[in-house]
Structure 1
Amino acid sequence: MRHRRGGARGGSVNRAHGDSWLSKAVNSVFAFVRLAEFEILFVLFFIVAFLIFKDLTSRPEYNDIFVKKPGKDGFWPYS
């Protein structure tokens, strides 16, 4: 069995030399996702939290506690 000795360039560079441009692009995207996994999850967490908060605060029941209702004397509807 012959072993290939790695030089200054890594074995992955030699292996990727014969790949198509689509394979190289997909491999580079996966490499980026592996590298930036924490940051991607961090941003996704804030996006999901923002969407949930936006949905909850856009409901009319949420805003009713801040608005004086017509026909009521007090500011708070349940006082």
Structure 2
Amino acid sequence: MRQQRGRGVGRGDPGLLTRAVEKVFRLVRLAEFEILFVLFFLIAFVLFKDLMSRPEYNSIFVKKPDLDGRWPGLM
């Protein structure tokens, strides 16, 4: 019987795809805190931007107080 040449399944060295995936996982484990930190601020920015774009929240900044000399809310 002839011996097969080339890379066998049972060999000790992993393939190129396996090594690439392991390097990506190693990078994610190394930079886990930084990735979560950036994601937190990105999500907070999107939520804040969404809240501030609504007209009812925007009218707080442009509404002028009563000019009759009284403080708002006091009788």
| Structure 2 unmatched runs, 5+ | 1-11, 67-71
TM-score, scaled relative to structure 2: 0.65
The counterpart of 1:76, out of the listed 65, 69, 72, is 65
Q: Higher relative contact order at CA 8 Å, sep ≥6: structure 1 or structure 2?
A: 1
Task: Report which of the two structures shows the higher radius of gyration computed on alpha carbons.
Answer: 2
Moved over 4 A (4+): none
Q: Does 1:56 align with 2:55?
A: no
Measured after TM superposition, the shift of residue 59 of structure 1 is 0.6
Confirm or deny that 1:33 pairs with 2:33: no
1:31-70 CA-to-partner distances (Å, cap 9, x unmatched) read 00111111111111111110110111011111111224xx
C-alpha RMSD over aligned residues:
1.7
Is the CA contact (8 Å cut-off) linking 1:57 and 1:63 kept in structure 2? yes
TM superposition shift of 1:21:
1.4
- Long gaps (5+) in structure 1: 1-14, 69-74
